[in-house]
Amino acid sequence: MEHMKVRGNGIDIHVAIQGPSDGPIVLLLHGFPELWYSWRHQIPGLAARGYRAVAPDLRGYGDSDAPAEISSYTCFNIVGDLVAVISALTASEDEKVFVVGHDWGALIAWYLCLFRPDKVKALVNLSVPFSSRPTDPSTKPVDRMRAFYGDDYYVCRFQEVGDIEAEIAEVGTERVMKRILTYRTPGPIIIPKDKSFWGSKDESIPLPSWVTEEDVTYFVSKFEEKGFSGPVNYYRNFNRNNELLGPWVGSKIQVPTKFVIGELDLVYYMPGVKEYIHGPKFKEDVPLLEEPVVMEGVAHFINQEKPQEILQIILDFISKF
């Protein structure tokens, strides 16, 4: 596997690449609090089938730059980074890429398809449907979440600058990573200020078979270098993004799309999400959407928990184009 930096959109973006240089590109976008590393199982499988797998660390993560300003983490900034990566790695401006996204990577992939459908051949998105589509720019998504879940809902806790960063520093990066990666409750993440969410420091957090201590060590090493401010700043732009998306209210995703979610994924249990996925609206918003897949017994980190199954879904879908 090759690692390189792409200079574009004003920052250096780290990408992991494997596969033939002339193979069709598959751009793999991670979520919170993951890194390119969350695609470690799919990258070799895609490369073995002749694709060029490209997994960036999104801005603020891993070995990519992490601008200090909160305003540097809007959907426009992040999509701009991806367009820069695509432009740097494709042979011509007309060449399109396949895109696979999970969690925040999925949300950004929707926006990439919304803003620059000319860059995307087909999309496979995991965990996050297009329910965060552009709506009335005057509404504030964080206020709605606070009204529904309360001040201790994780998105609300992430809003105050420095607050969650200080809590993570006190709890310890390793415990935080293990707690998040092993979270399987099909419901909202509530993080009370008494730090009870993280459990006692005396209690070990057992890892599932699909997460090794080596995996945790890698994640921890990168977050201890870079900190959590960049990743958390994505959440601090929820309200701002909704304002910026005003010109796209009513727009549809005009890209062939496959969507997969875990039956135990906390996103699946957010208000209105099940109804959106299984009702008519998702297909209306994404006309080229194939029938969504709900994987039984699988939680949020679906690409890590079921790596071979997800790889096969990706291959089966993109091989059509």
Q: Of 61, 111, 235, 268, which residue is the catalytic one?
A: 235
Annotation marks residue 37 as catalytic: no
- Strands 2-8, 11-18: pairing kind: antiparallel
Sheet containing 2-8: give its strands across.
2-8, 11-18, 52-56, 25-29, 97-102, 120-126, 257-262, 293-295
Give buried/exposed letters for 214-237 (b at 16+ CB in 10 A, else e).
ebbebbbebbeebebbbbbbbbbb
Residue of 14, 30, 102, 300 marked catalytic: 300
**How far, in Å, CA of 254 to CA of 120, rounded?**
10
In angstroms, the CA 163 to CA 66 distance is 18
Q: Which of 7, 100, 105, 120 is nearest to 61 (CA)?
A: 105
User: For this structure, is 103 an active site residue?
Assistant: yes
CA distance 157 to 272: 22
Catalytic hit among 57, 63, 65, 103: 103
Phi-psi region of 198 (alpha: psi -120 to 50; beta: other; left: phi over 0): alpha
235 is catalytic: yes
Other C-beta atoms lying within 10 Å of the C-beta of residue 258: 22
The SS3 of residue 121 is strand
- H-assigned helices in 34-124: 42-48, 75-89, 104-115
Rg (CA), the chain: 18
Residue 264 to residue 253: CA distance in whole angstroms: 26
**Catalytic (active-site) positions:** 103, 235, 300
